[in-house]
Amino acid sequence: MKVIDKHLLREMVKFVFIALGAVVVIYLLIDLFEELNYFTSRKAGFFTIVLYYVYSLPAAITLLYPVSLLLGVFLVYGQLTRHRELAALESAGVKATRLFVPAAAVGLATVLLYLGGNELLAIPAAARLSDLRRYKIEKRSVATAQQRKNLYMVGEQGRVFFMREFLSSGTMRGFTIKELGSDRKVVRRIDGTDAMFREGRWVAHGVELREFRTDGTEELAMHDSLVLEDIPEKPADFMRTPRPVGETSTKELRKYIAKLRRAGENVAHEEVEYHYRFSYSLIGLIVVLLGLPLSVRLRRGGVMFGLGLGLLVSFLYWGAIQMSRAYGTSHVVSPAMAAWMPNILFAGVAVVLWLKVRQ
């Protein structure tokens, strides 16, 4: 069996890489044709376009590697069935499910490869791609603004900031700070004409300080000058523009969700994305387990039929993912359920198909 396992493992790895290379190249070529007008209208140079697709490559691989795994399964095990090799091995006492071990090992390996590759390559590359589009291709000015107007920001410890104007030198003008309790109700509100960051702390002027008690009453205090001792944010925090969710590491995303939740914000979209990063890591394994029993049951139709079926299953899976994510963002189901529901559905189908494989 060791010889057969090594052969199947070698063939799986070979055909998965061939399939991955083919589908990624096709995907990037289609994208290039669609973006040609974008590149030419902005006079993007050849090197810039090459760099654009270098940064696009990790996301393309992340998106398409489940398809390549499924195609690899149909190519290797479909041929095994079509050429009667499976029947010969079964007659020698080898169970069909035992032959699935090498392919399942490849699918299991992709779980770890995805988790590491997504954090170390795909997410940083997405951020660099966004910067390349914005600053190199579209020639927008780099964010060196000295002020931000009508700034709204969720801060630490359940605080929400709004200010009419903020200067990078460390000055708030026309600001309001709301502090929320564990029940997400406002427990304190600070309104002021301005506040300046001096010697590591904020000094506010023209302050109205309201304390809201649990019995429904409030206390109002007026201060010409007040040191805001317990605000940890520094001027650089207010000048920083947060990255989109897809360009944020999983660790930072978890912190951002906790900050938004403390401030009473709707975090459904962020939570779906957070759980989706873990659920997507299992897709490679699930499609392999789904494709194995199908590949040995299809005794007619040949390789092309297997390829077509593999693409169909992949598109159905992707459609289920997008639909489920939309349900999670719209609060139809919980974010965790939205991220894991397609995996549960297709894993269930895989279990049923495995039970029907001849033992």
Q: List pLDDT tens digits, range 62-85.
A: 999 998 998 888 888 877 777 666
- Is residue 113 predicted with pLDDT exceeding 90? yes
**Cα–Cα distance measured from residue 147 to residue 165, given in angstroms and rounded to the nearest whole number:** 7
pLDDT band at residue 208, thresholds of 50, 70 and 90?
Answer: very high
Predicted local confidence at residue 102, as pLDDT:
87
Reported in sequence order, the residue ranges of the chain that DSSP labels E, i.e. its strands, are 147-154, 159-167, 171-180, 186-198, 201-212, 218-228
CA 168/CA 238 separation, integer angstroms? 8
Nearest-angstrom CA–CA distance, 51 and 57: 10
Predicted confidence (pLDDT) per residue in 309-325, tens digit = 777 888 888 889 989 99
Write out the H or E segment, with its range, that includes residue 29: helix 2-41
Confidence bin at 91 (pLDDT 50/70/90): low
Q: Where in the chain is the domain with CATH 2.60.450.10?
A: 147-240
How far lies 158's CA from each of 133, 191, 250, 315, in Å? 34, 17, 21, 42
pLDDT, average across residues 288-302: 73
- Confidence check: pLDDT of 94 > 70: no
CATH of the structural domain 147-240, one choice from 3.30.300.30, 3.40.50.720, 2.60.450.10, 3.90.1150.10: 2.60.450.10
Of 116-125, 308-317, 347-356, the range with the lowest mean pLDDT is 308-317
pLDDT at residue 286 tops 90: yes
Tell me what pLDDT residue 93 has.
61
Closest CA to 12 of 111, 80, 96: 80
What is the DSSP secondary structure assignment for residue 93, as one 8-state letter? T
